[in-house]
Amino acid sequence: MAICAVYSTPSLHSPCSISSPTKTHLGFHQRQVIFFTSGRIRRRSGTNSFEVSCSGEAKTVVIGLAADSGCGKSTFMRRLTSVFGGAAEPPKGGNPDSNTLISDTTTVICLDDYHSLDRTGRKEKGVTALDPRANDFDLMYEQVKALKEGVAVEKPIYNHVSGLLDPPELIKPPKILVIEGLHPMYDQRVRDLLDFSIYLDISNEVKFAWKIQRDMAERGHSLESIKASIEARKPDFDAYIDPQKKYADAVIEVLPTQLIPDDNEGKVLRVRLIMKEGVKYFSPVYLFDEGSTISWIPCGRKLTCSYPGIKFFYGPESYFSNEVSVLEMDGQFDRLDELIYVESHLSSLSTKFYGEVTQQMLKHADFPGSNNGTGLFQTIVGLKIRDLYEQLISEKAAAPAEAAKV
C-alpha cells in the first residue's frame, strides 16, 4: 500500500490532503504531520476535526465555461448536469445566496466568487467586474487546482443581491467540476487545469435582447440602467472576455438569423457550434459526411417548418488559426419531437441510445432556446463532455494496472 503524508499546510503537490477548521491564507486547513496508508481518515472531536483523502484517488475532471453576463450560462449548466443525471441544487444548509450548484456528479462554481472587490469597492476604484484587477486569480488557481487534486477548499461567496463578499463555503472535490463565469480561460495557470473548455459567443444584438429580458424580469433593473451597464462593460469585455474564445475547445456562437432579411430582434437565431479539431477525447459532430461541406434544408415531409424555415450547414473552417468543424442551425423547430429526424442525420453525438438528444431536449422543453440551435448545441456539448469524462476516468483507472505490469 502507498504511504501518504499530510503536511501542516497541505501542499498542492502532496499525495494527500487534509482539512480542519484552522484555515491558511489559501483557504485550506492546517494540522500536524500525519502518515497513513492509502485510503481515507476521518476524525471529529469538537472543533478539532479533519478529513483526509489521497490525491491518488481523486478523479476530478475540470470543465471551463466562459461567457459574458446574461449569455445563458445558467441554462447551459442545467442542461449539462441533467446529462449526468440528478438536479443541480445549492449546497444544503449553506448560504441561501450561494452561487454553487451541486448534483450527484457535478459541482458548478461561479467565478464571480473570486471577485476581490465588492460592488462598492469596484465603484470606488472605477473598475468593472470584468477587469482582472477586480478578481483574485491567485486564489482561483490555487482552489481549482486543489479541487482537481482531491482537496476540499473553502471558497468565497460573492453575493449578487447585496454586492458584498460573504463568508466562504466548503466545497468538496466532485467527479466533475465546472467553473463558469467571465474568466475561466483568462489566466494561463487556470486554463492549463481545464480538461475541456467552452465559450458562449453571443452577438451584440442578441446579447442586448437577452440581457434586457433577464435583468428587467429577474433582477428588477430599468431599461436605462441595463443600457448604461452594457455600454460601461463593453471596453472591458472586448479587452478581457472576448479574447478567451480563441482558447476554447468548443464555441457556441449565437447570431441573428439570415433567413429573414435585416432581422436583428433576436427572436429567430442562427447558431454555430465551432469544434476544434485534434482535442483529445473529443471528436467533432458532423452532418452526413465527415469533412464535407454541406448545406441542408430538412423541411418537408419529415419536418414541419413554418416561416422562415430551418437551414443547417456543416463544413471545415479556420478559427483563430485552428482547424475546426462547424455545425450551424438557422431557424427554429415547430415541433420538438421532430428533432429526432435531424438527430438521425448527425454522427459522433456520443449518445448512449438512439434519440437521446431528442429525449434530453423534450425533457427540458421549457428551457430557453429549446426550439433552436442554442438548446440543441448545448445538449450535444453536454453529451460530448460526458463521453470525454468517461474516457478520462477509464484512462486513469487503467493507469495503475498498466504500471503494475511493468
Task: Please check whether residue 189 lies inside any domain of the structure.
Answer: yes
pTM: 0.83
Residue 130: name the closest of 238, 220, 36 by CA.
238
Which pLDDT value is given to residue 396?
Answer: 80
- Degrees to nearest 5, angle at CA 64 with 59 and 66: 170
Residues 20 and 70 placed together within one structural domain of the fold: no
pLDDT at 134 > cutoff 60: yes
Which pLDDT value is given to residue 402?
Answer: 65
Which pLDDT value is given to residue 400?
Answer: 67
Reduced to 3 states (helix: H, G, I; strand: E, B; else coil), residue 190 is helix
C-beta atoms surrounding 37 within 10 Å:
10
Task: Please check whether residue 212 lies inside any domain of the structure.
Answer: no
- State how far the Cα of 249 lies from the Cα of 292, in Å rounded to an integer: 21
Which pLDDT value is given to residue 165?
Answer: 93
Residues 255 and 266 placed together within one structural domain of the fold: yes
Residues 71 and 42 placed together within one structural domain of the fold: no
Task: Please check whether residue 340 lies inside any domain of the structure.
Answer: yes
Residues 193 and 261 placed together within one structural domain of the fold: no
Residues 46 and 90 placed together within one structural domain of the fold: no
**Winning range, highest mean pLDDT, from 232-236, 383-387, 394-398:** 383-387
For residues 347 and 362, is the Cβ–Cβ distance under 8 A? no
Residues 19 and 65 placed together within one structural domain of the fold: no
For residue range 242-285, list pLDDT tens digits in order: 999 999 999 999 999 999 987 766 689 999 999 999 999 999 99
Can you tell me the mean pLDDT for 183-203?
97
Can you tell me the mean pLDDT for 95-118?
94
Find where cell 436605462 sits: 224
Which pLDDT value is given to residue 63?
Answer: 97
Task: Please check whether residue 203 lies inside any domain of the structure.
Answer: no
Identify the domain containing residue 64 by its residue range.
Answer: 58-198
Task: Please check whether residue 398 lies inside any domain of the structure.
Answer: no
The Cα-based distances of 127 to 119, 132, 134, 161, 234 in angstroms read 10, 9, 7, 19, 12
Task: Please check whether residue 22 lies inside any domain of the structure.
Answer: yes
Residues 351 and 366 placed together within one structural domain of the fold: yes
Pairing of strands 61-66, 50-54: unpaired
- State how far the Cα of 273 lies from the Cα of 348, in Å rounded to an integer: 14
Grid cell locating 95 = 448560504
- State how far the Cα of 15 lies from the Cα of 3, in Å rounded to an integer: 9
Domain count across the chain: 3
Percent share of the chain, pLDDT over 70: 82
Residues 11 and 110 placed together within one structural domain of the fold: no
Residues 10 and 98 placed together within one structural domain of the fold: no
Task: List the CATH number of the domain containing 134.
Answer: 3.40.50.300
Reported as a pLDDT band with limits 50, 70 and 90, residue 311 is very high
Q: What is the dihedral of CA 73, 78, 83, 89, to 10 degrees?
A: 130
Which pLDDT value is given to residue 210?
Answer: 74
Q: Which residue pairs, CB below 8 angstroms and at least 24 apart, start in 19-25?
A: 19/50, 19/51, 19/52, 19/151, 19/152, 19/170, 20/48, 20/49, 20/50, 21/47, 21/48, 21/49, 23/154
Mean pLDDT computed over every residue of the chain: 84
Residues 373 and 262 placed together within one structural domain of the fold: yes
Which pLDDT value is given to residue 209?
Answer: 76
Task: Please check whether residue 330 lies inside any domain of the structure.
Answer: yes
Residues 96 and 119 placed together within one structural domain of the fold: yes
Residues 30 and 116 placed together within one structural domain of the fold: no
- State how far the Cα of 4 lies from the Cα of 328, in Å rounded to an integer: 50
Which pLDDT value is given to residue 49?
Answer: 35
pLDDT at 214 > cutoff 90: no
